[in-house]
Copies of this chain bind each other. A is one copy, B any other.
Amino acid sequence: MKRGLLIVVSGASGTGKGTVCKKILDDMTDVAYSVSATTRAPREGETDGKQYYFLSRDEFSTWIDEGKFLEYANVYGNFYGTPLNKIEERRNRGEDILLEIDVQGAMNVMKKCPDGVFIFLLPPSLEELKRRIEGRGTETPESLAIRFNNAVAEIAIGRDYNYVVVNDSVDDAAAQIEGIINAERCKVARNLDKFNF
């Protein structure tokens, strides 16, 4: 069984990772979503086990103690974590897993899964990034300023990724990432079986 890809899509807060990843998952039925765990409250339309595993603080601590997380981080007061055991199981079954994760989390994934494909999503401009963060309407002015300044700092980290895609439009960014996934599937190292006639 050929081990599946781990495709990590990351980028600064407000870059539009979620929307782009949703489009990719709609388009590519052979790519599976890595469901994260979080202690933040569900937003409207979110259901447990689909967008996230919504955990209490206590439950989250137990998962940490049980070593279930590939990484976890405290982001603006809420915990987010990525269950490693589930990702590994699925990759070993040959599934290609798409992981949408913030920049802090992606840095941890780079250490633990160096065979991942790391794709950094950039906003078209800082002005547009600011507009998008404001447009969410879920922030106070203070948390907005923090989020924007952090986003600018996070963008510099993108240089350590494998690929960079500008999120000018959701459709174009998703198409570019789909191209990257298909290209990674064509890497010789993943296809040595094809040379055994």
Q: Restricting to A160-175, which residues have a CB under 8 Å from any CB of B?
A: 160-166
Q: Are B197 and A126 in contact (CB under 8 A)?
A: yes
**Residues A188 and B120 in contact in the complex (CB < 8 Å), given A179-B179, A179-B182:** yes
Minimum CB–CB distance for A5 against chain B, Å: 13
How many of chain A's residues have a CB under 8 angstroms from any CB in B?
Answer: 32
Q: Give the contacts of A117-165 with B (CB-CB under 8 A).
A: 119-120, 122, 125-126, 152, 155-156, 158-165
Most buried by B among A156, A159, A192: A159
Residue of B nearest to A156 (CB): B195
Residue A43 CB within 8 A of the other chain: no
Give every chain B residue within 8 A of A161 (Cβ-Cβ).
188
In the complex, whether A186 has a CB less than 8 A from a CB of chain B is yes
Copies of this chain: 2
A184 at the binding interface (Cβ < 8 Å): yes
Query: Which B residues are CB-close (under 8 A) to A160?
Result: 188
Decide if A191 is an interface residue (CB 8 Å cutoff). Answer: yes
**Is A111 in the interface zone, CB < 8 Å from B?**
no
- How far is it, in angstroms, between the C-alpha of A160 and the C-alpha of B120 when the chains are bound? 28
The chain B residue with its CB closest to the CB of A126 is B197
Residues of B within 8 A of A179 (CB): 178-180, 182-183, 186
